[in-house]
Chains A and B, each alone.
Chain A
Amino acid sequence: MKKLLTTIAVLAALVATGAAREVMVKGSDTMLNLVQNLAEAFSSTNPDVTVSVTGGGSGVGISAVVNKQTDIGDASRAIASKEISGARANGVNPVEYAIAIDGVCIIVNASNTVEKLTIEQLGQIYQGKIANWNSVGGPNKKVSLYGRQPSSGTFVYVRDEAVKAEYAASMRQMNGNAQIVEGVRADEGAIGYVGVGYAREAGIKVLDLSKDGTKFYSPLDKEAVDSGKYPLARPLFQYTNGKAKGDARTFIEFELGPDGQKIVSDQGFYPLTQGYQDRNNANLH
């Protein structure tokens, strides 16, 4: 009995030491490792602030901001108008910050001879209409589709930008970017989409894409991504309820600063161009 009481007292003492300064970041799996690295670096220079990072997908992140469950919501796609009205209905005013630039990579197994695709072909493949690689100049192998789950911003982004219709029902919905890489690496007929921070791995090949079939660009080419010539270039967003304040704001400022942007490059994504930095500054001040 005494032991039980003392342990309860210890737990109560834990509560009493009170809430630390915590910044909760939730959302995109594409951004998960990037933001986790940023959080780690931030903590070493700001030891009394704890940044908590968790994934779940862009849908989860935006939802958490709308439901006032998180300080910052990560999203690899822009917030939808339905979500904005839902937020307003809940008394939340979502403010958008871009923290990095990504080029969504279309990856295939290293043994696949296909080197490039047009956006239209990509869409046909993911709709299930092109079922064999030999239709696009590849080997005689059935196409095996890998994708994310509907909570993923990348899922929504690729669908809205390339597929422009419903995904084929047979697309395997993996739990994260890394699982897609693993799947594509093991499956010779596979095709998948991942953020550029995940694409520099052995065993997979990144395809060049073209909007209209004339010029093809690689997502590994920074200039193509920055200038928007690569069709699937997109910013990675963070959303807050109203303009960022307090510790959340300090963290975002860190992310947008030189140290943060260096981590963005190290993680394989692209640092922000001036245009995005200007927009962020407008939202910060």
Chain B
Amino acid sequence: MAGTGRPRFRSRKLTDKAAGAVFRASSLLSAVVLLGILLFLLLYGVRTFREVPILRFLFGTVWNPDAYGEPAYGLIPLVLGSLLSTAIALIIAVPLGIASAILISERLKGWVRVATKTLVELFAGFPSVVLGFFGLVVLAPFIAHTFHVPSGLNLLNAGVLLGFMSLPTIISVSDDALRVVPHSYREAAYALGATPWTTAFRIVLPAARSGILAAVMLGFGRAVGETMAVMMVAGNAAIIPHSLFDPIRTITSTIAIELGESAFGSAHYYSLFALGCVLFIIALGTNLVAESLIKREKRSFTL
């Protein structure tokens, strides 16, 4: 038999060890990247506070780094912009999303289910610039016309677009959450004479509530992190809005708008990293909570 001598085996062993090392290094790299991003953001972000008092950053109500007078680095208008537009998005997307998920998971079967899920997932992959473009050329004039306001570039427009963008996430994750509920739950309900409607709303949905909550959190994360679509339709004024039709500025679009013009090493430059930190923490937080909620749901079904 050829190839069974000791040198051949040694080289095979070497290759095996090398391969293992490469794989381990690669996966460590992935973990390092996450830490690296956080560290970079923190390192650069805290340099802001050499010039800007941290309390004024966190609680200031004016964001105006290029002011005529004193520059102001207050987070509040930006955080409000992000949170309010996301809130509107969730108001639209959560009821729609959960309702659709119930339909898809409890009622639709076979190819209809697959086709619907595929369509929803396809929409999830839409580039955000295209949606922003649509919001700019269709939704903005529509809003201006229907509500008799001067401009359709405002909080409402941003909220509606974000709602559409987070809808597929909410539908997908809710559908997963509902499917994880064991069939025995439904069968028990049917055995007692419940109708599918009752079963779905009173048995399955409450059983899946952790997973559904996770879906909402992931939808929230998606909406908060969106940049391009919001930049094109929100009006971009860093104010505290008083109505749905006021322009707003989110944390994400502030970074995108101001990163290019800030000189390296200026307080303005570092403040954008501080904003990035805030965003990172929000995104990380919602993701971790969502993950633990999904785990909790799965655990609750294993006795």
User: Does A83 reach chain B (CB closer than 8 Å)?
Assistant: yes
Q: Which chain A residues lie closer than 8 Å to B236 at the CB level?
A: 149, 172-175
Q: Select which of B69, B231, B258, B263 is within 8 A of A67 by beta carbon.
A: B263
Shortest CB-to-CB span from A64 to chain B, Å, is 8
Given contacts A150-B65, A172-B236, contact A57 B151 (CB under 8 A): no
Q: Select which of A63, A175, A186, A188 is within 8 A of B141 by beta carbon.
A: A186
Considering the chains assembled together, what is the distance between the CA atoms of A64 and B235 in angstroms?
26
In the bound complex, do residue B144 and residue A63 qualify as a contact, i.e. CB atoms below 8 Å apart? no
Chain A residues touching B, range: 35 or more
In the bound complex, do residue A173 and residue B237 qualify as a contact, i.e. CB atoms below 8 Å apart? yes
In the bound complex, do residue B263 and residue A175 qualify as a contact, i.e. CB atoms below 8 Å apart? no
Shortest CB-to-CB span from A72 to chain B, Å, is 16
Q: Which chain B residues lie closer than 8 Å to A186 at the CB level?
A: 141, 144, 151
Given contacts A86-B266, A173-B235, contact A189 B150 (CB under 8 A): yes
In the bound complex, do residue A183 and residue B237 qualify as a contact, i.e. CB atoms below 8 Å apart? no
Taken residue by residue from 141 to 171, chain A's Cβ proximity to chain B (1 for < 8 Å, 0 otherwise) reads as 0101000011100001001100111100111
Considering the chains assembled together, what is the distance between the CA atoms of A174 and B231 in angstroms?
9
Of chain B, the residue at the smallest CB distance from A83 is B263
In the bound complex, do residue A166 and residue B261 qualify as a contact, i.e. CB atoms below 8 Å apart? no
In the bound complex, do residue B257 and residue A151 qualify as a contact, i.e. CB atoms below 8 Å apart? yes
User: Does B260 reach chain A (CB closer than 8 Å)?
Assistant: yes
User: Does B153 reach chain A (CB closer than 8 Å)?
Assistant: yes
In the bound complex, do residue A187 and residue B260 qualify as a contact, i.e. CB atoms below 8 Å apart? no
In the bound complex, do residue B151 and residue A144 qualify as a contact, i.e. CB atoms below 8 Å apart? yes
User: Does A56 reach chain B (CB closer than 8 Å)?
Assistant: yes
User: Does A190 reach chain B (CB closer than 8 Å)?
Assistant: yes
Q: Select which of A57, A144, A173, A189 is within 8 A of B260 by beta carbon.
A: A57
Of chain A, the residue at the smallest CB distance from B231 is A175
Shortest CB-to-CB span from A166 to chain B, Å, is 5
Q: Select which of A83, A86, A183 is within 8 A of B153 by beta carbon.
A: A183
In the bound complex, do residue B238 and residue A169 qualify as a contact, i.e. CB atoms below 8 Å apart? yes
Q: Which chain B residues lie closer than 8 Å to A59 at the CB level?
A: 66, 260-262
User: Does A199 reach chain B (CB closer than 8 Å)?
Assistant: no
In the bound complex, do residue A56 and residue B232 qualify as a contact, i.e. CB atoms below 8 Å apart? no
Shortest CB-to-CB span from A148 to chain B, Å, is 10
Q: Which chain A residues lie closer than 8 Å to B262 at the CB level?
A: 59, 63
Taken residue by residue from 254 to 269, chain B's Cβ proximity to chain A (1 for < 8 Å, 0 otherwise) reads as 0001101111111000
Task: Identify the 9 closest CB pairs spanning chains A and B, nearest first.
Answer: A59-B261, A151-B261, A150-B66, A60-B260, A187-B150, A173-B236, A56-B260, A144-B150, A169-B239
Chain B interface residues toward A at CB < 8 A: 62, 64-69, 141, 144, 150-151, 153, 231-232, 235-239, 246-247, 249, 257-258, 260-266
Chain A interface residues toward B at CB < 8 A: 56-60, 63-64, 66-67, 83, 86, 142, 144, 149-151, 156, 159-160, 163-166, 169-175, 183, 186-190
